[in-house]
Amino acid sequence: MLSVDDATHELVLVLEESRSLGFLGPGPVSPQIDHAQAFLDSLAGQGRILDLGSGGGVPGLVLALALPASEFVLLDSNQRRCAFLQAAIERLGIADRTSVVTGRAEELARDPELRGSFDSVVSRSFGPPAVTAECAIGFMSGPGSVLLISEPPESEPNRWPEQGLQLLGLELGERQTQKQATIQVFTMVAPCSDKYPRRVGIPTKRPLF
């Protein structure tokens, strides 16, 4: 098992490799780690957490390393990124409580092993608001579970309409800003309808809001 210092150093190396492969944006990885850590305050005590659209490992790898008592699933539709993530979790020594799944969220949200089985879902740059929310809710365990979405710093009053969120059983929570990151919190207040998420591509073609 890696020491805290060794694990932190290894994480930086992993994310630098991810950036070199084009899985992360340009620039130093340190600010990206800081951004991911902004999710932590809302994840304390959460048992099972899904990273929706893990990409190059942010925020999923950062959070999994920081929350040793939690179980993580990193979801992405790209096979190359998922192969990288699988190698990364083994390299970081977190494979015993972190797994990677490959596929479209609309389909995986109907997998009996994944549907309704997460205390929290986190997302960074997955897609437009309505698409992210619809793809996330099928994974959420029910009323009381939370969805955390990284947001642009500028507030947009109509970005999360109450009526649209009600269709999905979500309630808008607080907007948290720290470490130059803005995280919007949502709470599930009603069970997920069987009709959501809709078939692959439909949430994007016909967004609910």
User: Which domains does the chain carry?
Assistant: 4-205 (3.40.50.150)
| pLDDT score at 2 | 76
Phi, psi of 76 (to 5 degrees): -155, 155
pLDDT computed for residue 200 by the predictor: 98
Instruction: Print pLDDT tens along the chain (209 aa).
Output: 677 778 899 999 999 999 999 999 998 999 999 999 999 999 988 999 999 999 999 999 999 999 999 999 999 999 999 999 999 999 999 999 999 999 999 999 999 999 999 999 999 999 999 999 999 999 999 999 999 999 998 888 899 999 999 999 999 999 999 878 999 999 999 999 999 999 999 999 999 99
Q: What is the DSSP letter of 193?
A: P
Largest CA distance in the chain: 48
Burial of 30 (0-12, 13-18, 19+ CB in 10 A): exposed
The pTM of the whole model exceeds 0.85: yes
pLDDT for the residue 193 = 95
- Round to whole Å and give the CA distance between 35 and 40: 10
Residue 44: per-residue pLDDT: 86
pLDDT at 178: 86
